[in-house]
Structure 1
Amino acid sequence: GPGVYAEFEAHSGTPRGFVFGTGWARARPFFLERADQFRAAPPPEIESGDYTRAFDEVREFGRALSATRTADQTHLAFWWKEFCDSSMNRLARHLVAAEGLDLWAATRLFALIDAGIFDGYVSVFENKFHFNHWRPYTAIRWAENDGNPATAAEPDWDNTHHHTYAFPSYPSAHGTVCAAAMTLFARVFGDDYTFTMTTPEVERAGPMSPRVKMDPPERSFTSFSSAAKECALSRVYLGIHFRYDAEAGNELGRRIAEHAWHRFLVPQASASTIR
């Protein structure tokens, strides 16, 4: 029915009936007490104005040949494609060296970031299968039957990515885990921090597709929060997420990171000060 996730095996490159990520919600998290500890608010109703605006945005900005999407938006769409467990660890290595962190501080940073990313995946996939929300690829092609008179179907619509991941859309996993990592970086170094990230190359479409070099390979930011927002919105420009997926993912990632920061791996008084 309208709004419900449906697979397109030809577009996802997976066998009929295959859905990725169902096991994540059964994984044991590091910081969270349980997978459903943080529940995102529901996505907009299909008949609502919020849904219509998000639908129109991804249809135009995320289409394969878009006259609306800028060259920079196309660049960032692909540049952010790398899985966050790779890109965030590369950034962590850069920050450890740039700030001269000692062994203890560096170890703590990597533990926070990687456990935060892991818990982000646990939480977001639990949310995804709870809401079971459809992808833009499905929504735009099937809009004639969605019950919303303000949406227009395009049966041949394709996205920038030429690929749709084989799992539900809401919230964005990329937006979640990137925000979890960036929020923890902000807690360690302060949010207003100027830095440059490097992504040398990415897969052109889905997993194991041919790789393309990024030109340029660098993007610069003035805060960790602005980087998290750009990361999440990159999925709109790829045409694989609605804006509300991205925003809900960012919020979920922030909640996970704040929970971790205040409760785990908190520095203790040194032995010399204990009485």
Structure 2
Amino acid sequence: MPDGPAERAGVAWGERVARDLIAARAHDGRNAPVQYTATPAPGVWRPTPPANLPMAVPWLGRVTPLLARSNNQFKPPAPPALTSRRYTRDFAEVKAMGSASSTARTPAQTATALFFSGNAVVQINAFLRDQATRRGLDIVDSARLFAATTMTTADVAILTWRSKLDRAYWRPITAIRSADTDGNPATTADPAWTSLIPSPNYPDYVSGYNSVMAASTRALEHVVGPRLDLALISTATPGEVRHYRGGASLRADVVDARIWLGIHFRTADTAARTLGVDLADWVARHYFRSRW
């Protein structure tokens, strides 16, 4: 591109748009002094071993969304009561399948779990770049693809953190080690139980990995159609590539994977998947309408 008026005008326009966007988000709640204040009790999240870190970025749950009407627009239903059949079922599943020493989890399940234990944002952006390249999208359609998917993903992260703040639901490691306090005669405590990987330092409900993966893949389906032919990498298992023909099968694997890692109850995963899909569907109806 040669130097000259056209180049200078393009740079000036880009800088103007950037300034306007930064100004629009200047007071959106990022880094606000929001604290996690829930008192530890049966069913309530508290820092988990081995690091016992406080909740990460609690302010995220109070940020103004980019597209959604509020950070509480698609509020997930309440998690299961500790004495319910669903909780008992979820508890038994993660206790058996998510233990670091599990004999119920197969090698293939362990491999899937570890594949989905890395950085989800890197994973999502990698498959978006791959989609734009393999589909031969020009700069306009590429911009639309990235806007529709990443803005939806950013919003679902905000809505997810709102749920984590509001529900403050404990992680499986706390639930299993403290099962003698939950009032449920069908659960048995194991003070030595350890998950396959350490739990992230924020509450269980709902699952962030599931919500962002569901939102991004569903938004992508609205942009390019249901046949995605996704190629996924993982920061946790370098060099491995997994292929998915559509978003539904990927979303199903992510639900299972986070249980097999021992860091989520199934209901936290499925509620997060629903949240991501519902938000992406709403965004597609209001902002990025399907063109296929």
Deviation at 1:267? 8.1
Q: Residue 26 of structure 1 aligns to which amino acid in structure 2?
A: R
Report the equivalent of 1:183.
218
Q: Tell me the C-alpha RMSD between the 2 structures.
A: 1.7
- The Cα offsets for residues 39-63 of structure 1, whole Å up to 9 and x where unpaired, read as 1011111111111110000001100
Report the equivalent of 1:6.
46
Counterparts in 2 of 1:1-275, with a 5 A limit? 1-8=41-48, 10-14=49-53, 18-161=54-197, 163-199=198-234, 201-202=235-236, 213-214=237-238, 217-266=240-289
Residues 191 and 225, structure 1, Cα contact 8 Å, conserved in 2: no
Structure 1 unaligned residues grouped into runs of 5+: 203-212, 269-275
Deviation at 1:25? 1.7
Give the distance between the partners of 2:52 and 2:164, measured in 1 at CA.
20
User: What TM-score do the two structures reach when normalised by structure 1?
Assistant: 0.87
Distance change >3 Å, CA 174–CA 227, structure 1 → 2: same
Identical counterparts, % of pairs: 29
Residues 120 and 213, structure 2, Cα contact 8 Å, conserved in 1: yes
Give the distance between the partners of 2:57 and 2:109, measured in 1 at CA.
28
Q: Residue 11 of structure 1 aligns to which amino acid in structure 2?
A: P
Residues 235 and 246, structure 1, Cα contact 8 Å, conserved in 2: yes
Q: Residue 197 of structure 1 aligns to which amino acid in structure 2?
A: L
Give the distance between the partners of 2:209 and 2:230, measured in 1 at CA.
20
User: What TM-score do the two structures reach when normalised by structure 2?
Assistant: 0.82
Paired residues, number: 251
Give the distance between the partners of 2:73 and 2:228, measured in 1 at CA.
30
Give the distance between the partners of 1:109 and 1:146, measured in 2 at CA.
46
Residues 85 and 114, structure 1, Cα contact 8 Å, conserved in 2: no
Deviation at 1:13? 5.0
Residues 12 and 165, structure 1, Cα contact 8 Å, conserved in 2: no
Task: Determine which structure has more spread, i.e. the larger CA radius of gyration.
Answer: 2
Residues 175 and 228, structure 1, Cα contact 8 Å, conserved in 2: yes
Residues 194 and 220, structure 1, Cα contact 8 Å, conserved in 2: yes
Distance change >3 Å, CA 258–CA 12, structure 1 → 2: farther
- The Cα offsets for residues 126-179 of structure 1, whole Å up to 9 and x where unpaired, read as 011111111000000000111000001100000000x12221110111111110
Give the secondary-structure state (helix, strand or coil) at the position aligned to 1:184. Answer: helix
